[in-house]
Amino acid sequence: MNPTGLLLLMPLIVEVGGPAHNGALRRSHGKRPQPTIASRLMQNTPVTIPITFVRGMLSGVQARGQSCESFLAGAEIAPELLDQTGARVTAAQYVTLFRLMIDGLDDEGIAFFSRALRCGSYALIARSALGAPNLEMAMRRITRTFQLLQDDVVVELVHDGAEAGLTLRFTNPVAAQQTFMHELLLRIFWRLLAWLAASKLPATRFDFSFMSPPYAGSYGRVFPAPLLFGQRQSAFWFEASWMKGPVRRDEAALRVFLMEAQANIILPRRHDAEVSLRVRSHLQKTQPAWPDLAATAEAMHMATSTLQRRLASEGTSFQALKDALRRDAAITRLNTSTVPLAALACELGFADSAAFQRAFKSWTGSAPGTYRRGGA
- Condensed to tens digits (0 to 9), the pLDDT of residues 309-320 reads 888 877 789 998
pLDDT at 61: 96
Determine how many CB atoms are found less than 10 A away from the CB of residue 57.
26
Residues with Cβ within 8 Å of 340's Cβ and at least 6 positions away in sequence, in order, are none
- State the Cα–Cα distance between residues 170 and 72, nearest whole angstrom: 29
Provide the pLDDT confidence category of residue 257 given band limits of 50, 70 and 90. confident
Using the predicted structure, report yes or no on whether residue 36 has a pLDDT greater than 60: no
pLDDT at 224: 87
> Which amino acid makes up residue 300?
M
Per residue in 270-316, pLDDT (tens digit) is: 554 578 888 988 998 888 889 999 999 999 999 999 999 888 877 78
Among the residues of the chain, which ranges form H helices? 37-44, 51-63, 69-74, 91-105, 121-128, 135-149, 173-176, 179-196, 251-266, 275-285, 293-299, 304-313, 318-336, 341-347, 353-364
Residues with Cβ within 8 Å of 145's Cβ and at least 6 positions away in sequence, in order, are 124, 125, 128
- State the Cα–Cα distance between residues 218 and 231, nearest whole angstrom: 19
Residues with Cβ within 8 Å of 320's Cβ and at least 6 positions away in sequence, in order, are none
Work out the burial of residue 159: count CB atoms within 10 Å of its CB; fewer than 13 is exposed, 13-18 middle, 19 or more buried: exposed
> Sign of the C-alpha dihedral, residues 83, 108, 230, 237?
positive
Q: Among 27, 108, 112, which residue's Cα sits nearest to residue 66?
A: 112
Q: Among 187, 256, 180, which residue's Cα sits nearest to residue 25?
A: 256
pLDDT at 45: 63
Helices 91-105 and 318-336: angle between axes, nearest 10 degrees = 50
- Specify whether the CB–CB gap between 236 and 184 falls below 8 A: no
Using the predicted structure, report yes or no on whether residue 20 has a pLDDT greater than 80: no
Q: Please, what's the largest Cα pairwise distance for the chain?
A: 62
Using the predicted structure, report yes or no on whether residue 321 has a pLDDT greater than 60: yes
SS3 label, residue 127: helix
- State the Cα–Cα distance between residues 62 and 111, nearest whole angstrom: 9
SS3 label, residue 196: helix
Report pTM: 0.74
- State the Cα–Cα distance between residues 338 and 350, nearest whole angstrom: 18
pLDDT at 32: 43
40-62 mean pLDDT: 80
